[in-house]
Amino acid sequence: MVDYEIFELGDIVLQSGQTLRAAKMAYKTYGTLSAAKDNVIVYPCWYSGTHVENEWLIGPGLALDPEKYFIIIPNMFGNGLSTSASNTPAPYNGSRFPKITAYDNVAQQHRLVTEKFGITTIKLVTGWSMGALQTYHWGAMYPDMVERILPFQGSAKCSRHNFVFLEGVRSALMCDAAFMDGFYTEQPQKGLRAAARVYAGWGLSQEFYRIEADIQKMGYASLEDFLVGFWEGWLLSKDANNLLTMLWTWQNGDISNNPLYGGDYKKALAGIKAKAVVMPASTDLYFPPADNAIEVEHMPNAKLHVVDTYWGHFAGGPGTSPDDIKILDIALKELLAS
Amino acid sequence: MVDYEIFELGDIVLQSGQTLRAAKMAYKTYGTLSAAKDNVIVYPCWYSGTHVENEWLIGPGLALDPEKYFIIIPNMFGNGLSTSASNTPAPYNGSRFPKITAYDNVAQQHRLVTEKFGITTIKLVTGWSMGALQTYHWGAMYPDMVERILPFQGSAKCSRHNFVFLEGVRSALMCDAAFMDGFYTEQPQKGLRAAARVYAGWGLSQEFYRIEADIQKMGYASLEDFLVGFWEGWLLSKDANNLLTMLWTWQNGDISNNPLYGGDYKKALAGIKAKAVVMPASTDLYFPPADNAIEVEHMPNAKLHVVDTYWGHFAGGPGTSPDDIKILDIALKELLAS
């Protein structure tokens, strides 16, 4: 029993020159496509997450209201549902699973939207974190199709600092001998747990950790309880090679790295015609507002909306900070109404 | 040929209840102790550093002028020169090397200063990072002896976020099977390199990495060159158990965790009689100014001086940011003159 559909993509030649054979994209839709096909929202996934972990933002009365909109969540390659190291047979399994860019992901999502549903106009693309990276790609790759974008706590290109943060996560995971260069027989527990502890400092802000109450409200008795239960629990629920696939996608994210823009970052940002609201969180440690401010300067139709919060990267994140999600929901409603 | 002295401490009972047997403190002095013994500066070391790596701040014409002051740099336990896992024979070697607090370090530094030199008044204690942690301890533990303190880019107590950052470093290092629970025969290269990559994101700011020029000025051709040459090079030059000893000291740093203050953090801060200038860096990711602002509220004679810089934790650090060190030097001169 699965709650999602599969779109068969066939063999895909990727930007890396590798071929993703018999590729599949898992997706889920919410609501009904209108006869005019003019009520479409595309909502890509964040790092490691599946469509299920995107659902906190969807519901009657919310901006992403399935009673009004037809919402498509495409699962990223490597997230375990779409084609991933974990579901690919030899010889493309393990560490031989191809390298996939955000461009590759969005190009195939575009096929899903157009070939499967015959959609020509998208009302809104929105996403958190790596979902935001894909959101920017949608805007830059299909400027005449995408009317609005709202990327939150993400960026159009992986910054050098963000790249370094991810190097820490990657190195910790791969340090475990049980990883066996990607050909493990069981998940590398030590590596996943170490990577989770590395991630823990980045995901939430200094102030979040200073305020002890939130961890307790989330059901953790102590900091150590939180590190094990929340952070280690998160990465232990994932596959190591899948995490590394998506990490590579993230590190190499760049809206200009494609034939349309030939590596010209400013040109790619300028190419986004959509009305855009870019929402960083004031205390996000790897997507700091300053990076988004630079982007918005080069986007013709964009507004920067910094969310003042101590929740760091998790401001708009998966349901953990209701106050910040309220702000996000209002911004989504305003943008959709405009 | 060594350039430092050894002070024999005998057997020390530590806060942990463990005994550091035949303990030795390596130290170096600069300048001449005046007849009145009233020109003393104590300048403790930062994480992993030795006295040599503290010397960037000492010189004729600088605030820490050896022609005017008698400057003592005590080496921290675990830094490889003072008693450390790397120079301790069985059975206290490897991971059985005792846990040592900042309180333990400063109590023994006090013995050096008083028993060896007969000093009763200290003009200034100053230090960077973990050196700042020890600086706060000096102020709180010997309030009638220390006239001035200038802790820069450090804190009186390890914050919960800082603790988490260090968990990432520790977990990455210990993830390497070659670490062998501390009983390695060769340094765990993979673990040290992974820990270095974790550290790399924290040590410098998002903005530092955005500005590519500085890495090149430092002699690194690319980001990867910098990660290997600067960061991995740093940790590969250290001993894994020593790094873990000092990391434990850091994580458990707390000026109030001693008989004087019985865990009362505010009381300990209030106990610092010294005239204090507390200097965080605006972009420091693990000692954010907000933490120091809280401290200064509770210190009777302290001023917060935030250094506006993109160098993050390395603002006052070991000679990498000359502009910020100029600001630090001026602040030290002003404090010494007051």
What pLDDT, on the 0 to 100 scale, is given for residue B213? 87
The second-level CATH assignment, the architecture, of B5-158+255-337 is 3-Layer(aba) Sandwich (3.40)
Q: Where in chain A is the domain with CATH 3.40.50.1820?
A: 5-159+253-337
Sign of CA dihedral B197, B200, B201, B203: positive
Query: Could you say which of A171, A191, A206 has the minimum Cβ distance to residue B288?
Result: A206
Q: What's the rounded mean pLDDT across residues B277-285? A: 98
- Residues of B within 8 A of A165 (CB-CB) are 201
Q: How far apart are CA B49 and CA B78, in angstroms?
A: 10
Q: Is the peptide bond before A91 cis (omega within 30 degrees of 0)?
A: yes
What pLDDT, on the 0 to 100 scale, is given for residue B320? 87
Q: Where in chain B is the domain with CATH 3.40.50.1820?
A: 5-158+255-337
Q: Where are the alpha helices (DSSP H) in B142-281?
A: 160-174, 189-203, 206-210, 213-217, 223-226, 233-236, 240-251, 265-270
What pLDDT, on the 0 to 100 scale, is given for residue B317? 82
Q: How far apart are CA A54 and CA A131, in angstroms?
A: 10
- Residues of chain B with pLDDT > 90, as a percent, come to 97
Can you tell me whether residue A47 is helix, strand or coil? coil
Closest-CA distance of chain A to residue B111, Å: 35
Chain B CB within 8 Å of residue A285 CB: yes
The torsion defined by the Cα of B305, B306, B308 and B313, in degrees rounded to 10, comes to: 120
What pLDDT, on the 0 to 100 scale, is given for residue B70? 98
- Residues of A within 8 A of B174 (CB-CB) are 194
In B288-317, the residues whose Cβ lies within 8 Å of chain A are: 288, 290-291
Q: What's the rounded mean pLDDT across residues B150-179? A: 98
By C-alpha distance, the chain A residue nearest B196 is A168
Q: What is the pLDDT of residues A7-25, one digit of tens each?
A: 999 999 999 999 999 999 9
Q: What's the rounded mean pLDDT across residues B48-52? A: 96
**In angstroms, how far is the first alpha carbon of chain B from the final one?**
39
User: Starting at the edge strand that comes first in sequence, how are the strands of the sheet with A70-74 ordered?
Assistant: A5-13, A19-30, A70-74, A40-42, A124-128, A148-152, A275-278, A302-304
Q: What is the pLDDT of residues B98-129, one digit of tens each?
A: 999 999 999 999 999 999 999 999 999 999 99
In B209-268, the residues whose Cβ lies within 8 Å of chain A are: 209-210, 212, 223, 227
Asked if the Cβ–Cβ distance from A210 to B163 is below 8 Å, we say no
Distances (CA, A) of B26 to A3, B51, B82, B116: 65, 9, 5, 13
Catalytic status, residue B282? no
By C-alpha distance, the chain A residue nearest B178 is A177
Q: For all residues of chain A together, what is the average pLDDT?
A: 97
In 3D, which of A227, A244, A148, A149 has the Cα closest to residue A193?
A: A227
Question: Which residues 6+ apart lie within 8 Å of A216 measured at CB?
Answer: none
In B154-183, the residues whose Cβ lies within 8 Å of chain A are: 159-165, 167-168, 170-172, 174-177
Catalytic status, residue B254? no
Q: What is the CATH T-level fold of the domain A5-159+253-337, as seen in this structure?
A: Rossmann fold (3.40.50)
Q: Is the peptide bond before B91 cis (omega within 30 degrees of 0)?
A: yes
- Residues of B within 8 A of A197 (CB-CB) are 164, 167-168, 170-171
pLDDT-based confidence at residue B1 (cuts at 50, 70, 90) = confident
pLDDT-based confidence at residue B164 (cuts at 50, 70, 90) = very high
Q: How far apart are CA A171 and CA B190, in angstroms?
A: 8
Q: With left for phi above 0 and alpha for psi between -120 and 50, is residue A212 left, alpha or beta?
A: alpha
By C-alpha distance, the chain B residue nearest A198 is B168
- Residues of B within 8 A of A160 (CB-CB) are 209-210, 212, 223
Query: Could you say which of B161, B172, B290 has the minimum Cβ distance to residue A175?
Result: B172
Report which secondary-structure segment, H or E, holds A5.
Answer: strand A5-13
Q: Which residues of chain A have pLDDT under 70?
A: none
Q: How far apart are CA B319 and CA B273, in angstroms?
A: 30
Q: Which of B65, B104, B239, B284 is catalytic?
A: B284
- Residues of B within 8 A of A168 (CB-CB) are 168, 172, 194, 197-201
**Candidates A161, A166, A211, A225, partner chain B, best to mutate (most B CBs within 10 A):** A161
What pLDDT, on the 0 to 100 scale, is given for residue B61? 97
**Candidates A197, A212, A250, A313, partner chain B, best to mutate (most B CBs within 10 A):** A197
State yes or no: pLDDT of B19 exceeds 80. yes
What pLDDT, on the 0 to 100 scale, is given for residue B103? 98
Query: pTM, whole model, 2 decimals?
Result: 0.96
Q: Identify the bridge partners of residue B281 per DSSP, sorted by sequence position.
A: B307
Q: Identify the bridge partners of residue A302 per DSSP, sorted by sequence position.
A: A276
By C-alpha distance, the chain A residue nearest B174 is A194
